[in-house]
Amino acid sequence: MPNTTAPVLVTGATGFLAAEIIKQLLAADYRVRGTTRDVAGSEADGQLASLPGADQRLEMLEADLLDPGAFDAAVVGCEYVMHTASPFFLDAEDPQHDLIDPAVEGTRSVLESVSKAGGVRRVVLTSSFAAMSGAPKEETWNEDDWNDVSSLDSGPYAYSKTMAERAAWDFMDDDDRSFDLVVINPTGIIGPSIVPRLNASHSLFVSATNGETPGIIDLHFPMVDVRDVARAHIMAMENPEAAGRYLCSAGTRSMRQNIELLKEAGFGDRYKLPSLPLDNALGNVLVRLVSRTQPKGIRDFISRSLGHTYELDTSKIRTELGLEFRDVDQSVIDTMTSLENWGHLGKKIEVVPAPSRL
């Protein structure tokens, strides 16, 4: 039974994660109000409208993170708001304009609209593990960690998520707010996509099938399935005791583990998967050299992450919210199956231009 008859607002509704949240909210009989910058485009796309229950209980409104007051109308009459909208790409030409401003100003804008409207009880904010970790470390990561490494010049996406989450907590400090804030910090989100658009976290999987990545590199990826991240948002909304940040991750796999899994599942028969063994000391030297020719976002990522793995403590989300994660290996297979069904595998990645390049 839904715990509100009011619509639940989901910002960034056409996104990979938000679409799954909307699907699960509709399946649980909630009414949903989604925002996008392009209602006509989302209607033409049709994926959200075809979700079971959407014809009766989903309405879409237009709102841009950079337009002051854009969410004023959207929050009216809502008791719960899920703020997922944020630009997600690693390689921005103008990071301040393309990443930081929409992430930070957009988060403030949503919270200001919520504050003005008065009826909202809780905002669930999608932050990221990137707001906790800018570079690997030996110790285990948990909710006390903050990314104090990334900057406008180095890891600007991670910086945008860190600054946006900090802005949200600062906003809540300001005075007696009539609502509370709960934050979900997912690691790399994988799993099947309801929407056809290729997500930044999926591009790594595509580049393993289109010949762009010939070698197996010494990289490790903490990952979580989109269906679990969506469930975490709904649990955080429904559980009155939920509070603070929640690190959300199912497990870490090396690139080699992923490639071997994909071979076993038969993807190697249909696509040329990376095979050159570069996950060794000599390989690391070569990869560092070659990464110098890559865009800065990718270069930074490789230089910080190569040869490191991640230990994550996810006990808070499992004990307080009761979230059980699905098996990471199955999520990897489901990701590839979904990408194959949408026709992405084996193709050159069409990079969606950042706003400054449009």
Q: Which residues have a catalytic role annotated?
A: 161
* Residue type at 188 in one-letter notation: G
* Residue type at 233 in one-letter notation: H
Give residues with Cβ within 8 angstroms of 34, minimum separation 6.
9, 10, 11, 13, 14, 18, 22, 42, 48, 58, 59, 60, 61
The residues in 24-83 that bind ligand NAP, with binding defined as CB under 6 A, are 36-38, 64-66
> Of residues 87, 155, 192, 274, which one binds ligand NAP by CB under 6 A?
87
* Residue type at 358 in one-letter notation: L
Give the residue at shortest CB distance from ligand NAP: 15
The residues in 232-291 that bind ligand NAP, with binding defined as CB under 6 A, are none
> Of residues 7, 8, 10, 14, which one binds ligand NAP by CB under 6 A?
14
DSSP strands (E only) in 24-166: 32-36, 58-62, 80-83, 122-126
Strand partners, 221: 253
**Residue 303: CB minimum distance to ligand NAP, A:** 20
Length of the chain: 358
Residue with tokens 């989901």: 10
Contact in structure between 114 and 123 (CB atoms under 8 Å):
yes
User: Which lies closer to ligand NAP via its Cβ, residue 102 or residue 297?
Assistant: 102
> Of residues 134, 156, 186, 274, which one binds ligand NAP by CB under 6 A?
186
Distance CA 6, CA 120 (A): 10
Which range, of 183-191, 238-246, 251-259, 299-307, touches ligand NAP by CB under 6 A?
A: 183-191
User: Which lies closer to ligand NAP via its Cβ, residue 86 or residue 258?
Assistant: 86
88 touching ligand NAP, by CB under 6 A: yes
> Of residues 7, 8, 9, 12, which one binds ligand NAP by CB under 6 A?
12
Which range, of 12-20, 107-115, 210-218, 296-304, touches ligand NAP by CB under 6 A?
A: 12-20
Residue 128 corresponds to which tokens in the numbers above?
Answer: 């990221």
Residue from 84, 74, 76, 87 nearest 39 by CA: 74
Residue 205 corresponds to which tokens in the numbers above?
Answer: 């999987």
Q: Could you tell me how far CA 25 lies from the centroid of its own chain?
A: 18
**Residue 280: CB minimum distance to ligand NAP, A:** 28
222 touching ligand NAP, by CB under 6 A: no
Q: Could you tell me how far CA 270 lies from the centroid of its own chain?
A: 28
Which range, of 8-16, 52-60, 173-181, 295-303, touches ligand NAP by CB under 6 A?
A: 8-16
User: Which lies closer to ligand NAP via its Cβ, residue 78 or residue 232?
Assistant: 232
Which range, of 166-174, 186-194, 268-276, 336-344, touches ligand NAP by CB under 6 A?
A: 186-194
Burial (Cβ within 10 Å: 0-12, 13-18, ≥19) of residue 202: buried
> Of residues 9, 82, 84, 134, which one binds ligand NAP by CB under 6 A?
84
Contact residues toward ligand NAP (CB under 6 A) are 12, 14-18, 36-38, 64-66, 84-88, 102, 106, 126, 128, 161, 186, 188-189, 199, 201
